[in-house]
Amino acid sequence: MTVIAVTGHMDLGEESVVLVRRALEALLADHAEDGVTGVSCIAKGADSIFADAVLSLGGRLVAVVPSADYRQTKVKPAYAAEFDRLYQAAAEVVVMPFVEANREAYEAANDELLRRADHVFAVWDGKPGNGRGGTADTVAAARAAQLPVTVVWPEGATRTS
C-alpha cells in the first residue's frame, strides 16, 4: 500500500477546486489498485480535496491535526461541517502534542506528514512561501528527505490571495 501525503494551498480559486480535484483523482487512481493511504491535515483547500478524493477511491485516510484547539480556533464556520466529516471518516487521527495552533504546531504536523509518506502530492503554484511551514517549505523538506514530490497545478488553476 502506497502512503501519499498532501501539502497545498488553502486559498484555491473557485474554478480551481474542480481542476485540482480532477488532477488528484487521476493521480490517485494510479495507486488505487494496490491500495492507497492518504495523509492530510484536512485543512480547507488542497488538503480537504485530497482527503475526499482518497476516500472516494476507497482509500484509507490519516488525518493529522496540528493542535488540540485547531478545530475550535482555526476552522471557519463555513468549513466546519466538511472538516468534521473528514475527521470522522479518517481511519486514524493524529493530534499533534500542542495545545494551541501556531507556526510550531503547523511545522510539526507537516513533519509528521512527511514522516509517514512514501510520496508527496503538492498542490502548489511553485511560488516561494510567505512564511515558515507553508507549502513551499514542505515541498523543500520533502525533497531534502528524498521523498518523491508530484506538483499538482493544473492549467488554469488560481489562488484567491
Confidence of residue 1 (pLDDT cuts 50, 70, 90): confident
Chain-centroid distance, C-alpha 61: 11
Q: Reduced to 3 DSSP states, what percent helix, strand and coil does the chain have, rounded to the nearest 5? A: 45, 20, 35
pLDDT tens, 86-110? 999 999 999 999 999 999 999 999 9
pLDDT at 131 > cutoff 80: no
pLDDT at 24 > cutoff 80: yes
- Closest Cα partner for 26 from 157, 138, 154, 136? 154
Domains of the chain: 2-151 (3.40.50.450)
Confidence of residue 31 (pLDDT cuts 50, 70, 90): confident
